[in-house]
C-alpha cells in the first residue's frame, strides 16, 4: 500500500534534480569540448572595443625626428595595430607571423613600456614589419586601447573601426584561420 502514495512522488522529486544536473552537465561538456577543439579560448577575455572606433592614441615615433604617430594617420585603408615590447618573449614568437602579414596589410607597432634603445635592438634582431612605431613609454596608449598584456593585435578597417582583437602571440592557427581571412575580406 505504501507503493502508491509515496512511490510516485519520490520518482518526480528524483527527476527534477537529475534534469537540472543533466542541463548543467550539458553546458559544461559543451564548453569543455569547445575548449578542447580550440574554438573557445579561456585566456581570451571579452573585449568591448570591437565595433568601436579606435581611440585617438597619439605617440611619439621611435624615429623621434619624424614627429608623432597614431592609428588615425592611417585611415583610408585597413591597418593592423600590434602592441609589443622587447622584453616580451611571445613577441619574439610572433615575429614570423608579422613578417607574413606585412605583405598584406600595413602594421603600426606600439612599443609598450619599452626603452627605445631596446626596441631598436629588438627590431634589429627579429625584423621590423612596421610602417611606423609609436613609443608608449608609460603604457598610457595601451591603456586607452584596453591592452592587458603584450602582445596584442587589433585589426582596423579603413574607417578606423576595430574589427578584431587578439591578445597573445599570433600563432599559425590565429594567422591562417582568423587574421588572414579577415584581412582578405577587407581587400
Binding site for another protein (CB under 8 A): 1-2, 5-6, 9, 13, 16, 45-49, 55, 86-87, 89, 92-93, 113, 118, 121-122, 125-126, 139, 143-146, 148-149
CB of 30 to another protein, least distance (A): 16
- Whichever of 19 and 75 has its CB closer to another protein, that residue is 19
* Residues near 158 by beta carbon (within 8 Å), at least 6 away in sequence: 75, 76, 77, 78, 186
CB of 156 to another protein, least distance (A): 16
- Whichever of 17 and 76 has its CB closer to another protein, that residue is 17
Taken in order 110, 96, 48, 25, the sign of the CA dihedral is: negative
CB of 114 to another protein, least distance (A): 10
Question: How do 68-69 and 132-136 pair as beta strands?
Answer: unpaired
- Whichever of 49 and 186 has its CB closer to another protein, that residue is 49
- Whichever of 148 and 159 has its CB closer to another protein, that residue is 148
CB of 1 to another protein, least distance (A): 5
Q: To 10 degrees, the CA torsion angle through 89, 47, 133, 184?
A: 100
Query: In the Cβ-directed half-sphere of 135, how many Cα atoms lie within 13 Å?
Result: 17
CB of 119 to another protein, least distance (A): 9
Strand, helix or coil at 157?
A: coil
- Whichever of 32 and 50 has its CB closer to another protein, that residue is 50
What is the C-alpha separation between 133 and 7, in angstroms, rounded?
75
Amino acid at each position: 500500500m505504501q507503493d502508491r502514495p509515496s512511490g510516485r512522488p519520490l520518482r518526480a522529486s528524483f527527476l527534477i534534480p537529475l534534469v537540472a544536473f543533466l542541463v548543467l552537465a550539458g553546458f559544461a561538456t559543451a564548453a569543455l569540448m569547445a575548449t578542447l577543439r580550440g574554438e573557445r579560448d579561456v585566456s581570451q577575455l571579452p573585449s568591448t572595443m570591437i565595433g568601436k572606433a579606435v581611440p585617438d592614441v597619439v605617440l611619439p615615433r621611435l624615429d623621434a625626428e619624424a614627429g608623432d604617430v597614431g592609428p588615425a594617420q592611417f585611415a583610408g585603408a585597413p591597418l593592423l595595430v600590434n602592441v609589443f615590447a622587447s622584453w616580451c618573449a611571445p613577441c619574439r614568437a610572433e615575429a614570423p607571423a608579422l613578417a607574413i602579414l606585412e605583405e598584406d596589410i600595413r602594421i603600426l607597432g606600439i612599443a609598450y613600456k619599452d626603452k627605445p634603445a631596446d626596441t631598436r635592438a629588438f627590431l634589429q634582431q627579429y625584423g621590423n614589419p612596421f610602417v611606423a612605431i609609436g613609443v608608449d613609454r608609460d603604457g598610457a596608449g595601451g591603456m586607452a586601447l584596453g591592452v592587458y598584456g603584450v602582445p596584442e593585435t587589433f585589426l582596423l578597417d579603413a574607417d578606423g573601426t576595430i574589427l578584431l582583437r587578439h591578445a597573445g602571440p599570433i600563432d599559425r592557427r590565429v594567422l591562417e584561420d582568423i587574421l588572414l581571412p579577415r584581412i582578405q575580406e577587407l581587400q
